[in-house]
Chain A
Amino acid sequence: MESRQRAIVSDQSRPQLKRYARLQYDPVRSAWALLSPEKVFWPDEVSLDILRLCDGRHTVLQIVSELAGQYDAAREDIAPDVEEFLQEWSDRFLVTL
């Protein structure tokens, strides 16, 4: 059981939504919902933009570049927030790194 370890985010992580975490549009509430065991999350616009890039192909570095372009912001301003977000969502078992 000691083989189970906490995943730590890095530049080269390729985050991916867990198979059992489902991002779907809810027509009743006109909002995007993230469904997971026991809990429903309502990610905001920025979180959604990150989650949509968690496809297991983009590295964290690429996600940051992509978002820097979308938001017309400096990479170094965005990177800490993205990494913090991904670490938190990994710790909640919603994203693999």
Chain B
Amino acid sequence: MSDALLPPIGMLAELTHRCPLQCVYCSNPLELLKADRELSTDAWLALFEEAADLGVLQIHLSGGEPTLRPDLEQFVSCLARRGVYTNLITAGVGIAEGRLERLRDAGLDHLQLSIQGARAATTEKIGNHRGALEKKLDVARKVVELGLPLTINAPIHRHNIEEVPAFIDLALSLGAQRLEIANVQYAGWALLNRNVLMPDRQAVERQVAIVEEAQARLQGIMAIDFVAPDYFAVYPKPCMGGWARDAFMVAPDGKVLPCHAAATIPTLHFERFGEASLTDIWVHSPAFNAFRGDDWMLEPCRSCDRKEIDWGGCRCQAMAIAGNAAATDPACIKSPLHDRMAALIGEANAVAPSHAEDFRYRRIGRT
């Protein structure tokens, strides 16, 4: 390790894998955990207390659908008491009357709402849930009415990439302060569905132009964050800001991971909260130390002047495409396997129209 280890700033808590939606791009693992594997209320509270002691300043409460946990208010108020910033990441479907008020009163700082399509039919198709968009819009309006800051998250793929302008108008009209146009990352269920989700290059280029124009036009009015599509990239993303560098995540069963796809790297063993403390895991876990800093890097990363910009990119993508988690992320133009990305785009774009919606929906206990 070249630098001293610093405490983590952010943590993603996947409170549950249960979800009323079955989104085909879900970032959760294919092996979803049932309710009986979830940490208890007390275990999550102990974990949050330790995270605050360790230096975590921001916690994203996610899932699955985090509002399915009846103890969510307790988590928010525990974190608010500790001065930790809370961000609720919700699908906005099935939230009971009065729940958002209670979460605000418990001290919730921010809410991020996912919307699968600017058109109702698209949202229904992607999440396989009838009437989902109306419910989401009700949640968005309520959030703004309660004075909570709202981010709309729009995961982008072939089936909604032409709705990007409509997403921008929708987020503006809802009073969102921020919109994420987030091209789907091909891990978890998105990897399984890659051939039916991958957009084509022309659509991606149109999208980039639309977003850049809107970002300039809406400066100071609404922030638009763009998550670029890896397969079309020249350089990789600094995934998680670098492996185990300033953030980590916890799965519903308490397994502590550097990122949500890390369990796809078969050579690594991840510990659960309870077997070890968060501090022990952050500092000593061999899996956390496996790709920290740059000592682990192979060429072309090792001698690259961008190595502290993108940290070699995504380890899980290197695993999925190069078959080696220590390889350069093939999204990088310097990767010897970079051409593989274009080949995978070609493979996806060659899917016959009659099979364009052969989705494998996210379901517990079924892949």
Contacts and interface: CB of A to CB of B under 8 A. Distances in A.
B55 A28 contact: yes
A37 to B, nearest CB: 4
B58 A5 contact: no
Interface string B1-35: 00000010110000000000000000000000000
Contact of A7 (B87, B110, B178, B220): B220
B221 A5 contact: yes
Given A19-B147, A33-B57, A38 B221 contact: no
Interface residues of A, number: 23
B222 interface: yes
Contacts of A37: 85, 87, 109-110, 112, 149, 151, 177-178
Nearest to B147: A19
B173 interface: yes
A1 interface: yes
Contacts of B173: 1
B58 A40 contact: yes
A35 B204 CA distance: 33
A35 B52 CA distance: 14
B177 A93 contact: yes
Contacts of B286: none
Given A5-B221, A7-B220, A93-B178, A40 B172 contact: no
Interface of A: 1, 4-7, 18-20, 22, 24, 26, 28-29, 33, 35-38, 40, 90-93
Given A6-B221, A7-B220, A38-B178, 5 more contacts: A1-B172, A6-B219, A20-B110, A35-B109, A93-B178
